[in-house]
Structure 1
Amino acid sequence: MPTLPPERAPQPEHASHRHREVAESFGADPERYDRTRPRYPRAMVDRIVAASPGPDVLDVGCGTGIVARQFEAAGAHVLGVDVDARMAGLARRRGLDVEVASFEAWDPAGRKFDAVVSGQTWHWVDPVAGAAKAGRALRSRGVLALFWNVGRPVPEVAEAFAEVYRLVVPDSLAARQGTVPAGNGYAALHTQAADGIRDAGAFTGPEQWRFAWEQPYTRDEWLDQLPTQGAFTRLPQARLEEVLTGIGAAIDAAGGSFTMRYTTLAVIATRTDTA
Protein backbone atom coordinates (compact mmCIF):
# COMPACT_ATOMS: atom_id res chain seq x y z
CA MET A 1 0.00 0.00 0.00
CA PRO A 2 1.45 3.42 -0.88
CA THR A 3 2.31 5.62 2.08
CA LEU A 4 1.71 9.34 1.67
CA PRO A 5 4.99 11.31 1.68
CA PRO A 6 5.82 13.36 4.77
CA GLU A 7 6.29 16.73 3.06
CA ARG A 8 4.38 19.54 4.73
CA ALA A 9 2.37 22.11 2.80
CA PRO A 10 1.43 25.43 4.44
CA GLN A 11 -2.28 25.96 4.95
CA PRO A 12 -3.35 28.80 2.64
CA GLU A 13 -5.77 31.47 3.74
CA HIS A 14 -8.25 30.17 1.16
CA ALA A 15 -8.12 26.62 2.58
CA SER A 16 -11.60 25.17 2.40
CA HIS A 17 -12.02 24.66 6.15
CA ARG A 18 -11.80 28.44 6.56
CA HIS A 19 -14.94 28.91 4.47
CA ARG A 20 -17.69 27.12 6.35
CA GLU A 21 -20.40 29.09 4.55
CA VAL A 22 -19.75 26.90 1.49
CA ALA A 23 -19.99 23.71 3.54
CA GLU A 24 -23.27 24.87 5.00
CA SER A 25 -24.73 25.65 1.56
CA PHE A 26 -25.21 21.93 0.78
CA GLY A 27 -28.20 21.74 3.12
CA ALA A 28 -30.34 23.96 0.90
CA ASP A 29 -31.92 20.86 -0.69
CA PRO A 30 -31.01 17.81 1.43
CA GLU A 31 -33.47 15.51 -0.35
CA ARG A 32 -31.84 16.17 -3.72
CA TYR A 33 -28.38 15.76 -2.18
CA ASP A 34 -29.29 12.40 -0.69
CA ARG A 35 -30.98 11.21 -3.87
CA THR A 36 -28.27 12.13 -6.34
CA ARG A 37 -24.83 12.08 -4.72
CA PRO A 38 -22.63 9.09 -5.62
CA ARG A 39 -22.05 6.39 -3.06
CA TYR A 40 -18.70 4.77 -2.25
CA PRO A 41 -17.21 1.41 -3.28
CA ARG A 42 -18.41 -1.47 -1.14
CA ALA A 43 -14.87 -2.86 -1.27
CA MET A 44 -13.56 0.23 0.51
CA VAL A 45 -16.28 0.14 3.18
CA ASP A 46 -15.64 -3.56 3.83
CA ARG A 47 -11.89 -2.97 4.04
CA ILE A 48 -12.31 -0.19 6.62
CA VAL A 49 -14.70 -2.31 8.68
CA ALA A 50 -12.28 -5.24 8.56
CA ALA A 51 -9.38 -3.02 9.67
CA SER A 52 -11.31 -1.61 12.64
CA PRO A 53 -11.10 -3.30 16.07
CA GLY A 54 -14.88 -3.22 16.52
CA PRO A 55 -18.19 -2.05 15.01
CA ASP A 56 -18.57 1.45 16.51
CA VAL A 57 -18.16 4.12 13.81
CA LEU A 58 -18.24 7.92 14.02
CA ASP A 59 -19.19 9.57 10.71
CA VAL A 60 -17.82 13.13 10.58
CA GLY A 61 -19.77 15.47 8.32
CA CYS A 62 -22.38 12.77 7.88
CA GLY A 63 -24.73 14.99 5.89
CA THR A 64 -27.87 13.07 5.00
CA GLY A 65 -26.32 9.75 6.04
CA ILE A 66 -25.04 8.40 2.72
CA VAL A 67 -21.79 7.07 4.21
CA ALA A 68 -23.43 6.01 7.46
CA ARG A 69 -26.01 3.83 5.72
CA GLN A 70 -23.27 2.07 3.75
CA PHE A 71 -21.36 1.31 6.95
CA GLU A 72 -24.53 0.16 8.72
CA ALA A 73 -25.19 -2.21 5.82
CA ALA A 74 -21.70 -3.63 6.44
CA GLY A 75 -22.54 -4.33 10.08
CA ALA A 76 -21.33 -1.16 11.81
CA HIS A 77 -23.06 0.90 14.50
CA VAL A 78 -22.85 4.54 13.40
CA LEU A 79 -23.13 7.92 15.13
CA GLY A 80 -23.14 10.94 12.82
CA VAL A 81 -21.90 14.47 13.45
CA ASP A 82 -22.79 17.33 11.11
CA VAL A 83 -22.73 21.11 11.29
CA ASP A 84 -25.95 21.52 9.27
CA ALA A 85 -29.21 20.84 11.09
CA ARG A 86 -31.09 20.51 7.79
CA MET A 87 -28.87 17.68 6.59
CA ALA A 88 -28.92 16.08 10.04
CA GLY A 89 -32.70 16.26 10.09
CA LEU A 90 -32.99 14.16 6.95
CA ALA A 91 -30.42 11.68 8.27
CA ARG A 92 -32.46 11.30 11.46
CA ARG A 93 -35.61 10.70 9.46
CA ARG A 94 -33.71 7.89 7.73
CA GLY A 95 -32.92 6.34 11.11
CA LEU A 96 -29.42 7.68 11.86
CA ASP A 97 -28.40 9.00 15.27
CA VAL A 98 -26.89 12.45 14.58
CA GLU A 99 -25.46 15.22 16.75
CA VAL A 100 -25.33 18.75 15.30
CA ALA A 101 -21.97 20.50 15.75
CA SER A 102 -18.79 21.30 13.92
CA PHE A 103 -16.40 18.44 14.52
CA GLU A 104 -13.81 20.71 16.13
CA ALA A 105 -16.44 21.82 18.71
CA TRP A 106 -18.16 18.43 19.12
CA ASP A 107 -17.85 16.79 22.55
CA PRO A 108 -17.16 13.03 22.57
CA ALA A 109 -18.29 13.01 26.23
CA GLY A 110 -15.99 10.11 27.01
CA ARG A 111 -17.27 7.94 24.18
CA LYS A 112 -14.81 5.87 22.14
CA PHE A 113 -15.11 4.54 18.60
CA ASP A 114 -13.43 1.86 16.51
CA ALA A 115 -13.38 3.99 13.36
CA VAL A 116 -13.77 7.67 12.51
CA VAL A 117 -14.77 8.10 8.87
CA SER A 118 -15.47 11.10 6.67
CA GLY A 119 -16.70 10.99 3.09
CA GLN A 120 -16.29 14.07 0.87
CA THR A 121 -16.21 16.38 3.92
CA TRP A 122 -12.87 16.37 5.74
CA HIS A 123 -11.69 19.41 3.74
CA TRP A 124 -14.29 21.41 5.70
CA VAL A 125 -12.58 20.36 8.96
CA ASP A 126 -9.40 21.95 10.29
CA PRO A 127 -6.92 19.19 9.39
CA VAL A 128 -4.85 19.43 12.58
CA ALA A 129 -7.64 20.05 15.10
CA GLY A 130 -9.79 17.44 13.38
CA ALA A 131 -7.12 14.74 13.48
CA ALA A 132 -6.42 15.50 17.13
CA LYS A 133 -10.14 15.23 17.96
CA ALA A 134 -10.36 11.95 16.03
CA GLY A 135 -7.41 10.60 17.97
CA ARG A 136 -9.14 11.36 21.27
CA ALA A 137 -12.36 9.71 20.09
CA LEU A 138 -10.75 6.49 18.85
CA ARG A 139 -9.94 3.37 20.78
CA SER A 140 -6.43 1.95 20.60
CA ARG A 141 -5.81 0.61 17.06
CA GLY A 142 -8.92 2.41 15.83
CA VAL A 143 -8.98 3.57 12.21
CA LEU A 144 -9.25 7.10 10.80
CA ALA A 145 -10.52 6.89 7.20
CA LEU A 146 -10.95 10.04 5.09
CA PHE A 147 -12.14 9.61 1.52
CA TRP A 148 -13.28 11.51 -1.54
CA ASN A 149 -14.85 10.58 -4.87
CA VAL A 150 -13.02 12.16 -7.82
CA GLY A 151 -14.93 11.93 -11.09
CA ARG A 152 -14.34 12.84 -14.71
CA PRO A 153 -16.30 11.91 -17.85
CA VAL A 154 -14.69 10.57 -20.99
CA PRO A 155 -12.51 13.31 -22.60
CA GLU A 156 -14.96 14.53 -25.23
CA VAL A 157 -17.75 14.98 -22.68
CA ALA A 158 -15.37 16.55 -20.16
CA GLU A 159 -14.29 19.13 -22.73
CA ALA A 160 -17.91 19.92 -23.65
CA PHE A 161 -18.74 20.46 -19.97
CA ALA A 162 -15.63 22.61 -19.47
CA GLU A 163 -16.63 24.83 -22.40
CA VAL A 164 -20.00 25.49 -20.78
CA TYR A 165 -18.34 26.42 -17.49
CA ARG A 166 -15.83 28.71 -19.22
CA LEU A 167 -18.63 30.55 -20.99
CA VAL A 168 -21.21 30.77 -18.19
CA VAL A 169 -19.23 30.68 -14.93
CA PRO A 170 -15.63 31.46 -15.92
CA ASP A 171 -14.49 32.25 -12.38
CA SER A 172 -15.99 29.14 -10.81
CA LEU A 173 -14.33 26.08 -9.32
CA ALA A 174 -15.91 24.01 -12.10
CA ALA A 175 -14.18 26.11 -14.78
CA ARG A 176 -10.82 25.84 -13.02
CA GLN A 177 -11.16 22.07 -12.59
CA GLY A 178 -11.69 21.69 -16.31
CA THR A 179 -8.14 22.93 -16.95
CA VAL A 180 -6.32 20.35 -14.80
CA PRO A 181 -6.08 16.54 -14.91
CA ALA A 182 -8.70 14.64 -12.93
CA GLY A 183 -7.67 14.23 -9.33
CA ASN A 184 -5.10 17.04 -9.26
CA GLY A 185 -7.52 19.30 -7.44
CA TYR A 186 -7.78 16.73 -4.66
CA ALA A 187 -4.05 16.24 -4.22
CA ALA A 188 -3.79 19.26 -1.91
CA LEU A 189 -6.71 17.96 0.17
CA HIS A 190 -4.97 14.63 0.67
CA THR A 191 -1.70 16.34 1.54
CA GLN A 192 -3.41 18.58 4.10
CA ALA A 193 -5.25 15.62 5.61
CA ALA A 194 -2.05 13.56 5.86
CA ASP A 195 -0.15 16.49 7.38
CA GLY A 196 -2.85 16.97 10.00
CA ILE A 197 -2.75 13.28 10.90
CA ARG A 198 1.02 13.38 11.34
CA ASP A 199 0.88 16.58 13.39
CA ALA A 200 -1.72 15.06 15.73
CA GLY A 201 0.94 12.56 16.82
CA ALA A 202 -1.58 9.84 17.62
CA PHE A 203 -1.47 7.76 14.44
CA THR A 204 0.68 5.52 12.33
CA GLY A 205 1.87 7.11 9.10
CA PRO A 206 -1.13 7.58 6.76
CA GLU A 207 -1.60 5.36 3.74
CA GLN A 208 -3.51 6.05 0.52
CA TRP A 209 -6.03 3.62 -0.93
CA ARG A 210 -7.51 3.99 -4.44
CA PHE A 211 -10.63 2.40 -5.90
CA ALA A 212 -11.61 2.88 -9.56
CA TRP A 213 -15.21 2.49 -10.69
CA GLU A 214 -17.71 3.86 -13.20
CA GLN A 215 -21.28 5.07 -13.12
CA PRO A 216 -23.51 5.88 -16.10
CA TYR A 217 -25.77 8.94 -16.01
CA THR A 218 -28.70 9.95 -18.12
CA ARG A 219 -29.19 13.63 -18.92
CA ASP A 220 -31.87 14.01 -16.25
CA GLU A 221 -29.84 12.16 -13.61
CA TRP A 222 -26.82 14.40 -14.08
CA LEU A 223 -28.81 17.62 -14.17
CA ASP A 224 -30.48 16.50 -10.93
CA GLN A 225 -27.09 16.09 -9.22
CA LEU A 226 -25.28 19.13 -10.60
CA PRO A 227 -26.90 21.75 -8.30
CA THR A 228 -25.65 19.81 -5.24
CA GLN A 229 -21.99 20.29 -6.18
CA GLY A 230 -19.97 22.92 -4.33
CA ALA A 231 -19.30 24.98 -7.44
CA PHE A 232 -23.01 25.58 -7.93
CA THR A 233 -24.77 25.56 -4.55
CA ARG A 234 -24.59 29.34 -4.18
CA LEU A 235 -25.08 30.39 -7.80
CA PRO A 236 -27.99 32.75 -8.53
CA GLN A 237 -30.87 30.76 -9.95
CA ALA A 238 -30.69 32.44 -13.37
CA ARG A 239 -27.00 31.59 -13.74
CA LEU A 240 -27.61 28.03 -12.56
CA GLU A 241 -30.30 27.63 -15.22
CA GLU A 242 -27.78 28.74 -17.86
CA VAL A 243 -25.35 26.09 -16.64
CA LEU A 244 -28.02 23.38 -16.65
CA THR A 245 -29.17 24.33 -20.16
CA GLY A 246 -25.62 24.20 -21.50
CA ILE A 247 -24.72 20.93 -19.78
CA GLY A 248 -28.01 19.39 -20.88
CA ALA A 249 -27.24 20.30 -24.50
CA ALA A 250 -23.76 18.78 -24.17
CA ILE A 251 -25.21 15.51 -22.89
CA ASP A 252 -27.81 15.50 -25.67
CA ALA A 253 -24.98 15.90 -28.19
CA ALA A 254 -23.25 12.89 -26.61
CA GLY A 255 -26.34 10.74 -27.15
CA GLY A 256 -28.35 11.57 -24.05
CA SER A 257 -26.11 9.85 -21.50
CA PHE A 258 -22.48 9.47 -20.49
CA THR A 259 -20.27 7.50 -18.13
CA MET A 260 -18.49 9.11 -15.19
CA ARG A 261 -15.15 7.53 -14.35
CA TYR A 262 -14.69 7.75 -10.60
CA THR A 263 -11.69 7.15 -8.41
CA THR A 264 -12.30 7.01 -4.68
CA LEU A 265 -9.19 8.21 -2.87
CA ALA A 266 -8.83 7.39 0.83
CA VAL A 267 -6.34 8.50 3.47
CA ILE A 268 -6.10 5.83 6.18
CA ALA A 269 -4.30 5.90 9.55
CA THR A 270 -4.41 3.77 12.68
CA ARG A 271 -4.41 5.16 16.22
CA THR A 272 -1.30 4.05 18.05
CA ASP A 273 -1.38 2.03 21.25
CA THR A 274 0.64 4.68 23.08
CA ALA A 275 -1.36 7.77 22.08
Structure 2
Amino acid sequence: MQDSKQEINARASIDLEQRKNWYSPVADIYYNARPKYPKELIERSVVLAQLDSDASILEVGCGPGNATVAFAQFGFPMTCIEPNQDFCHLAQHHCATYPNVAIYNTSFEEWELKAKQFNAVLSANAFHWIPSEIRYAKAATALRDNGFLILLWNLRPEPKYEVYQAIEEVYQAYAPSLVQYEGAEIQAGILRGFEQDILDSGYFKELVTEQVACEVTYSIDDFFKLLSTMSRLELKAKELLFTGLREKLRNFGDSIQLSFVSAVHVARKNG
Protein backbone atom coordinates (compact mmCIF):
# COMPACT_ATOMS: atom_id res chain seq x y z
CA MET A 1 0.00 0.00 0.00
CA GLN A 2 1.43 3.32 -1.03
CA ASP A 3 1.23 6.49 0.96
CA SER A 4 1.01 10.17 0.08
CA LYS A 5 3.86 12.15 -1.47
CA GLN A 6 4.55 13.82 1.88
CA GLU A 7 4.91 10.46 3.59
CA ILE A 8 7.08 9.14 0.77
CA ASN A 9 9.49 12.05 1.15
CA ALA A 10 9.48 11.75 4.93
CA ARG A 11 10.19 8.06 4.84
CA ALA A 12 13.00 8.48 2.37
CA SER A 13 14.76 10.66 4.95
CA ILE A 14 14.43 8.14 7.77
CA ASP A 15 17.84 6.75 8.60
CA LEU A 16 18.62 3.09 8.02
CA GLU A 17 18.55 2.03 11.66
CA GLN A 18 15.02 3.38 12.09
CA ARG A 19 13.88 1.65 8.91
CA LYS A 20 15.12 -1.68 10.21
CA ASN A 21 12.51 -1.50 12.99
CA TRP A 22 9.81 0.67 11.45
CA TYR A 23 7.17 -2.06 11.03
CA SER A 24 8.27 -4.43 13.81
CA PRO A 25 5.26 -3.68 16.08
CA VAL A 26 2.86 -4.81 13.34
CA ALA A 27 5.01 -7.31 11.47
CA ASP A 28 2.82 -10.26 12.39
CA ILE A 29 -0.36 -8.72 10.96
CA TYR A 30 1.10 -6.89 7.96
CA TYR A 31 1.08 -9.93 5.67
CA ASN A 32 -2.66 -10.55 6.06
CA ALA A 33 -3.83 -6.98 6.64
CA ARG A 34 -2.38 -5.36 3.53
CA PRO A 35 -4.27 -5.91 0.23
CA LYS A 36 -2.74 -8.50 -2.08
CA TYR A 37 -1.21 -7.46 -5.39
CA PRO A 38 -3.63 -8.29 -8.21
CA LYS A 39 -2.82 -11.56 -9.92
CA GLU A 40 -3.21 -10.00 -13.37
CA LEU A 41 -0.51 -7.42 -12.61
CA ILE A 42 1.86 -10.11 -11.35
CA GLU A 43 1.31 -12.09 -14.54
CA ARG A 44 1.70 -9.02 -16.74
CA SER A 45 4.96 -8.05 -15.07
CA VAL A 46 6.35 -11.52 -15.82
CA VAL A 47 5.40 -11.10 -19.48
CA LEU A 48 6.63 -7.51 -19.78
CA ALA A 49 9.97 -8.36 -18.16
CA GLN A 50 10.33 -11.38 -20.47
CA LEU A 51 11.01 -13.73 -17.56
CA ASP A 52 11.62 -17.36 -18.50
CA SER A 53 11.11 -20.08 -15.90
CA ASP A 54 14.79 -19.97 -14.89
CA ALA A 55 15.03 -16.16 -14.74
CA SER A 56 16.71 -14.93 -11.58
CA ILE A 57 15.09 -12.18 -9.50
CA LEU A 58 16.52 -9.87 -6.86
CA GLU A 59 13.75 -8.56 -4.61
CA VAL A 60 14.50 -5.36 -2.71
CA GLY A 61 12.61 -5.02 0.57
CA CYS A 62 10.52 -8.18 0.47
CA GLY A 63 8.75 -7.42 3.75
CA PRO A 64 6.94 -10.48 5.11
CA GLY A 65 6.68 -11.87 1.57
CA ASN A 66 3.50 -10.27 0.22
CA ALA A 67 4.81 -10.17 -3.37
CA THR A 68 7.54 -12.77 -2.91
CA VAL A 69 5.12 -15.68 -2.68
CA ALA A 70 3.31 -14.59 -5.84
CA PHE A 71 6.55 -14.64 -7.85
CA ALA A 72 7.93 -17.73 -6.12
CA GLN A 73 4.93 -19.68 -7.41
CA PHE A 74 6.39 -19.35 -10.91
CA GLY A 75 9.50 -21.22 -9.75
CA PHE A 76 11.93 -18.34 -10.28
CA PRO A 77 15.23 -18.43 -8.40
CA MET A 78 14.90 -15.45 -6.05
CA THR A 79 17.32 -13.60 -3.82
CA CYS A 80 15.32 -11.45 -1.42
CA ILE A 81 16.70 -8.86 0.96
CA GLU A 82 14.83 -7.31 3.87
CA PRO A 83 16.34 -5.05 6.56
CA ASN A 84 13.64 -5.69 9.17
CA GLN A 85 14.45 -8.86 11.11
CA ASP A 86 10.82 -9.59 12.01
CA PHE A 87 9.73 -9.27 8.39
CA CYS A 88 12.65 -11.41 7.30
CA HIS A 89 11.64 -14.27 9.60
CA LEU A 90 8.04 -14.08 8.41
CA ALA A 91 9.11 -14.08 4.75
CA GLN A 92 11.28 -17.13 5.36
CA HIS A 93 8.28 -18.86 6.92
CA HIS A 94 5.90 -17.90 4.11
CA CYS A 95 8.39 -19.05 1.46
CA ALA A 96 9.51 -22.23 3.20
CA THR A 97 7.92 -24.40 0.50
CA TYR A 98 9.83 -22.65 -2.31
CA PRO A 99 13.40 -24.02 -2.38
CA ASN A 100 14.52 -21.51 -5.03
CA VAL A 101 13.86 -18.56 -2.71
CA ALA A 102 16.63 -17.28 -0.43
CA ILE A 103 15.87 -14.45 1.99
CA TYR A 104 18.55 -12.40 3.73
CA ASN A 105 18.26 -9.97 6.62
CA THR A 106 20.07 -6.95 5.20
CA SER A 107 19.32 -3.62 3.54
CA PHE A 108 19.81 -2.81 -0.12
CA GLU A 109 22.37 -0.21 0.90
CA GLU A 110 24.40 -2.75 2.88
CA TRP A 111 23.90 -5.69 0.54
CA GLU A 112 27.09 -6.83 -1.16
CA LEU A 113 26.48 -6.06 -4.80
CA LYS A 114 26.57 -8.90 -7.30
CA ALA A 115 26.98 -7.21 -10.66
CA LYS A 116 25.05 -8.48 -13.67
CA GLN A 117 23.63 -11.48 -11.80
CA PHE A 118 19.88 -10.97 -12.20
CA ASN A 119 17.30 -10.89 -14.96
CA ALA A 120 15.01 -8.65 -12.92
CA VAL A 121 15.08 -6.43 -9.86
CA LEU A 122 11.70 -6.47 -8.12
CA SER A 123 10.40 -4.20 -5.41
CA ALA A 124 6.84 -4.04 -4.08
CA ASN A 125 5.93 -0.88 -2.17
CA ALA A 126 9.50 -0.62 -0.93
CA PHE A 127 11.70 1.10 -3.52
CA HIS A 128 10.94 4.59 -2.21
CA TRP A 129 12.61 3.65 1.08
CA ILE A 130 16.00 3.50 -0.66
CA PRO A 131 17.85 6.83 -1.08
CA SER A 132 17.42 8.07 -4.65
CA GLU A 133 21.16 8.29 -5.22
CA ILE A 134 21.45 4.53 -4.54
CA ARG A 135 18.31 2.72 -5.66
CA TYR A 136 18.45 3.02 -9.46
CA ALA A 137 22.22 2.88 -9.86
CA LYS A 138 22.60 -0.21 -7.69
CA ALA A 139 19.58 -1.94 -9.25
CA ALA A 140 20.97 -1.33 -12.74
CA THR A 141 24.38 -2.68 -11.74
CA ALA A 142 22.80 -5.84 -10.32
CA LEU A 143 20.96 -6.48 -13.60
CA ARG A 144 22.28 -8.39 -16.56
CA ASP A 145 22.33 -6.60 -19.89
CA ASN A 146 18.74 -5.93 -20.99
CA GLY A 147 17.45 -6.87 -17.53
CA PHE A 148 14.29 -5.28 -16.15
CA LEU A 149 13.20 -3.26 -13.15
CA ILE A 150 9.76 -4.28 -11.80
CA LEU A 151 8.08 -1.95 -9.32
CA LEU A 152 4.74 -2.97 -7.86
CA TRP A 153 2.51 -0.51 -6.03
CA ASN A 154 -0.68 -0.76 -4.03
CA LEU A 155 -1.70 2.80 -3.25
CA ARG A 156 -3.66 3.83 -0.17
CA PRO A 157 -6.92 1.88 0.29
CA GLU A 158 -9.64 4.43 1.06
CA PRO A 159 -13.34 4.27 1.93
CA LYS A 160 -16.00 6.14 0.02
CA TYR A 161 -15.62 9.86 0.57
CA GLU A 162 -18.83 10.10 2.63
CA VAL A 163 -17.42 7.49 5.01
CA TYR A 164 -14.10 9.31 5.20
CA GLN A 165 -15.90 12.54 6.04
CA ALA A 166 -17.64 10.78 8.92
CA ILE A 167 -14.40 9.48 10.43
CA GLU A 168 -12.04 12.35 9.62
CA GLU A 169 -12.54 14.03 13.01
CA VAL A 170 -11.55 10.80 14.76
CA TYR A 171 -8.37 10.63 12.68
CA GLN A 172 -7.70 14.28 13.51
CA ALA A 173 -8.01 13.63 17.23
CA TYR A 174 -5.95 10.46 17.54
CA ALA A 175 -4.03 9.80 14.30
CA PRO A 176 -3.36 13.05 12.39
CA SER A 177 -1.16 11.23 9.87
CA LEU A 178 -4.30 9.54 8.55
CA VAL A 179 -6.05 12.86 7.85
CA GLN A 180 -5.83 12.82 4.08
CA TYR A 181 -7.93 11.64 1.20
CA GLU A 182 -6.35 10.94 -2.15
CA GLY A 183 -8.95 9.50 -4.49
CA ALA A 184 -8.27 8.07 -7.92
CA GLU A 185 -7.02 11.33 -9.47
CA ILE A 186 -4.36 12.01 -6.84
CA GLN A 187 -3.28 8.38 -6.87
CA ALA A 188 -2.87 8.57 -10.64
CA GLY A 189 -0.65 11.60 -10.10
CA ILE A 190 1.47 9.72 -7.57
CA LEU A 191 2.02 6.98 -10.14
CA ARG A 192 3.03 9.52 -12.77
CA GLY A 193 5.59 10.87 -10.32
CA PHE A 194 7.03 7.39 -9.89
CA GLU A 195 7.20 6.98 -13.66
CA GLN A 196 9.09 10.23 -14.07
CA ASP A 197 11.45 9.26 -11.27
CA ILE A 198 12.40 6.08 -13.12
CA LEU A 199 13.01 7.90 -16.39
CA ASP A 200 14.89 10.78 -14.76
CA SER A 201 17.32 8.33 -13.17
CA GLY A 202 18.88 7.71 -16.57
CA TYR A 203 19.40 4.02 -15.84
CA PHE A 204 16.22 2.64 -17.43
CA LYS A 205 14.25 2.97 -20.64
CA GLU A 206 11.15 1.59 -22.42
CA LEU A 207 8.99 2.14 -19.36
CA VAL A 208 5.62 0.40 -19.40
CA THR A 209 2.94 1.10 -16.79
CA GLU A 210 -0.18 -0.96 -16.21
CA GLN A 211 -2.72 -0.38 -13.48
CA VAL A 212 -6.07 -1.62 -12.22
CA ALA A 213 -8.72 -0.13 -9.96
CA CYS A 214 -9.21 -2.38 -6.96
CA GLU A 215 -11.87 -2.78 -4.30
CA VAL A 216 -11.58 -4.74 -1.09
CA THR A 217 -14.03 -5.30 1.75
CA TYR A 218 -12.85 -5.53 5.33
CA SER A 219 -14.63 -6.36 8.53
CA ILE A 220 -14.32 -3.48 10.97
CA ASP A 221 -11.76 -5.40 13.04
CA ASP A 222 -9.69 -6.20 9.95
CA PHE A 223 -9.87 -2.55 8.90
CA PHE A 224 -8.37 -1.64 12.27
CA LYS A 225 -5.55 -4.11 11.64
CA LEU A 226 -4.90 -2.42 8.30
CA LEU A 227 -4.79 1.00 9.98
CA SER A 228 -2.28 -0.29 12.51
CA THR A 229 0.14 -0.91 9.62
CA MET A 230 -0.32 2.63 8.30
CA SER A 231 0.36 4.79 11.34
CA ARG A 232 2.64 4.41 14.35
CA LEU A 233 0.50 4.98 17.45
CA GLU A 234 0.95 4.57 21.17
CA LEU A 235 -1.34 1.95 22.71
CA LYS A 236 -3.67 4.48 24.36
CA ALA A 237 -4.05 6.55 21.19
CA LYS A 238 -4.74 3.39 19.21
CA GLU A 239 -7.44 2.32 21.65
CA LEU A 240 -9.10 5.73 21.49
CA LEU A 241 -8.84 5.79 17.70
CA PHE A 242 -10.47 2.40 17.27
CA THR A 243 -13.21 3.16 19.80
CA GLY A 244 -14.05 6.40 18.03
CA LEU A 245 -13.99 4.80 14.60
CA ARG A 246 -16.19 1.90 15.68
CA GLU A 247 -18.82 4.35 16.91
CA LYS A 248 -18.81 6.26 13.61
CA LEU A 249 -18.63 3.21 11.35
CA ARG A 250 -21.58 1.42 12.93
CA ASN A 251 -23.76 3.79 10.91
CA PHE A 252 -22.43 2.18 7.70
CA GLY A 253 -22.80 -1.50 8.56
CA ASP A 254 -20.57 -4.33 9.75
CA SER A 255 -17.92 -3.96 7.05
CA ILE A 256 -16.15 -1.26 5.10
CA GLN A 257 -15.39 -1.16 1.38
CA LEU A 258 -12.09 0.34 0.33
CA SER A 259 -10.81 1.27 -3.12
CA PHE A 260 -7.32 1.96 -4.42
CA VAL A 261 -5.16 1.87 -7.52
CA SER A 262 -2.70 -0.97 -8.00
CA ALA A 263 0.03 -0.62 -10.60
CA VAL A 264 3.23 -2.06 -11.99
CA HIS A 265 6.11 -0.22 -13.64
CA VAL A 266 8.42 -2.30 -15.84
CA ALA A 267 11.49 -0.74 -17.45
CA ARG A 268 14.51 -2.14 -19.28
CA LYS A 269 18.07 -1.44 -18.19
CA ASN A 270 19.88 1.11 -20.31
CA GLY A 271 22.99 0.15 -22.26
Partners of 1:194 and 1:267 within 8 A in 2: no
Quick one: which amino acid aligns to residue 17 of structure 1? Answer: A
SS of equivalent residue, structure 1 residue 38 = coil
Match of 2:11 in 1: 16
Match of 1:45 in 2: 42
Match of 2:31 in 1: 34
Deviates more, 1:16-25 or 1:249-258: 16-25
CA distance in 2, matches of 1:154, 1:25: 29
Partners of 1:127 and 1:193 within 8 A in 2: no
CA distance in 1, matches of 2:260, 2:119: 28
- Note if 1:194 corresponds to 2:200: no
CA drift of 1:49 comes to 1.0
Cα shift readout 1:169-219 (whole Å, capped 9, x = no counterpart) = 3xx3211x23x4456378457525632x33543310534321112111111
CA drift of 1:71 comes to 0.9
CA drift of 1:27 comes to 1.9
- Note if 1:103 corresponds to 2:108: yes
CA drift of 1:92 comes to 1.3
Cα shift readout 1:20-64 (whole Å, capped 9, x = no counterpart) = 425732122322111211110111110111122433222111011
Partners of 1:53 and 1:141 within 8 A in 2: no
5 Å-filtered alignment, 1:256-271, equals 256-271=254-269
Question: TM-score, with normalisation over the residues of structure 1?
Answer: 0.82
- Note if 1:135 corresponds to 2:115: no
CA distance in 2, matches of 1:185, 1:16: 18
SS of equivalent residue, structure 1 residue 204 = strand
Deviates more, 1:94-103 or 1:121-130: 94-103
CA distance in 2, matches of 1:47, 1:260: 24
Match of 1:165 in 2: 171
Cα shift readout 1:212-241 (whole Å, capped 9, x = no counterpart) = 121111112111222111xx22x1110111
Quick one: which amino acid aligns to residue 268 of structure 2? Answer: T
Partners of 2:184 and 2:261 within 8 A in 1: no
Match of 1:73 in 2: 73
Quick one: which amino acid aligns to residue 184 of structure 1? Answer: I
Q: 1:102 to 1:254 in 2, by over 3 A?
A: same
SS of equivalent residue, structure 1 residue 141 = strand
Partners of 2:223 and 2:256 within 8 A in 1: no
SS of equivalent residue, structure 2 residue 122 = strand
CA drift of 1:100 comes to 2.0
Match of 1:4 in 2: none
Match of 1:255 in 2: 253
CA drift of 1:128 comes to 3.4
Q: 1:68 to 1:256 in 2, by over 3 A?
A: same
Quick one: which amino acid aligns to residue 58 of structure 2? Answer: L
CA distance in 1, matches of 2:248, 2:131: 37
In the alignment, structure 1 segments of 5+ residues that lack a partner are 1-10
Match of 2:3 in 1: none
CA distance in 2, matches of 1:22, 1:163: 29
Question: TM-score, with normalisation over the residues of structure 2?
Answer: 0.83
CA distance in 1, matches of 2:188, 2:246: 26
CA distance in 1, matches of 2:124, 2:8: 23
CA distance in 2, matches of 1:163, 1:22: 29
- Same amino acid, percent of matched pairs: 27
Q: Considering only aligned residues, what root-mean-square deviation do their CA atoms show, in Å?
A: 2.6
Partners of 2:49 and 2:266 within 8 A in 1: no
Match of 1:238 in 2: 236
Partners of 1:211 and 1:264 within 8 A in 2: yes
Deviates more, 1:147-156 or 1:36-45: 147-156
CA drift of 1:14 comes to 5.0
Quick one: which amino acid aligns to residue 196 of structure 2? Answer: A
- Note if 1:122 corresponds to 2:97: no
